[in-house]
Amino acid sequence: MTHVLAVVTDRAHARFFDVGASEAVELTSLQSPAGRGGKFHSDRGDSPGWGEHAYHARREEEARRHVAAIVERLAAFERQHPGADVLLAGPGTTAGALQRALPPALGQRVIGTARLSPLEVTPATVHQTATQVRAAHERATQRTLVAAVLEGLGTGRAENGVRAVLRALARGQVRQLLIPADVADVFQTAADAARRQGASVTFLDAGIAQPIEGLAALLRWP
């Protein structure tokens, strides 16, 4: 199972979890200096009454540094686990805002977002949430691949059917092989051959695989 790094964050906290097949293991967390005291506390020299602009500028800088620290931690984990998926979670719109701030390479690893609080979340909750989000992401990815096959038929970009796909596989044309999960054992040799050629292999859920005639493939070239 591919690792999932889940980050549960708010304005001042970020908790990280390495999610595997059976559990989520909490990693070292982050706590940023944001949120020192209240907005209207008189001990804040830059709070309203002493400089509204300075107060908001400091808050924006704290938020920027907090996001930068999260991005740095995500990037370090991805270097340790290349290809790891990422789940972003937080209260309200926090997760969506963090996703928009990610660099493209990390943004492509995000499998979804969720609403969780770093002050209340448990490893068990993170594991359950990540499992559900990953399953939804995988189903969406499968539907996209099947749609691409159907759209590519007759254009030289896709094949549907055992004979046509095996012929393309023998030529080294296949870049993405699609196999209904209920016949995975029958086509294990084809899956192995595709991987040796550097192609990706996806096993499709039964309902999603209905348009597939045994095997389907997206091709490298016509």
pLDDT at residue 40, rounded to an integer: 36
Query: Where in the chain do CATH 3.30.420.60 domains reside?
Result: 4-121
pTM over cut 0.75: yes
| Tens of pLDDT, residues 83-114 | 899 999 999 999 999 999 999 999 999 999 99
**Confidence label for 171 from pLDDT (cuts 50, 70 and 90):** very high
Predicted confidence (pLDDT) at residue 77 exceeds the cutoff of 70? yes
Predicted confidence (pLDDT) at residue 37 exceeds the cutoff of 50? no
Taking domain 4-121, whether its CATH number is 3.30.420.60 is answered by yes
Predicted confidence (pLDDT) at residue 36 exceeds the cutoff of 80? no
154 vs 171: CA distance, rounded Å: 18
| Tens of pLDDT, residues 108-141 | 999 999 999 999 999 999 999 999 999 999 999 9
pLDDT at residue 33, rounded to an integer: 65
pLDDT at residue 48, rounded to an integer: 53
Q: Are strands 30-31 and 13-19 parallel, antiparallel or unpaired?
A: antiparallel
pLDDT at residue 63, rounded to an integer: 86
76 vs 25: CA distance, rounded Å: 17
Tokens standing for residue 116: 């969780």
Amino acid code (one letter) for 37: G
pLDDT at residue 34, rounded to an integer: 54
Query: Where in the chain do CATH 3.30.1330.30 domains reside?
Result: 141-219
Predicted confidence (pLDDT) at residue 45 exceeds the cutoff of 80? no
89 vs 134: CA distance, rounded Å: 13
Q: Which CATH fold would you assign to the domain 141-219?
A: 60s Ribosomal Protein L30; Chain: A; (3.30.1330)
User: What is residue 170's three-state secondary structure?
Assistant: helix
Tokens standing for residue 140: 């969406």
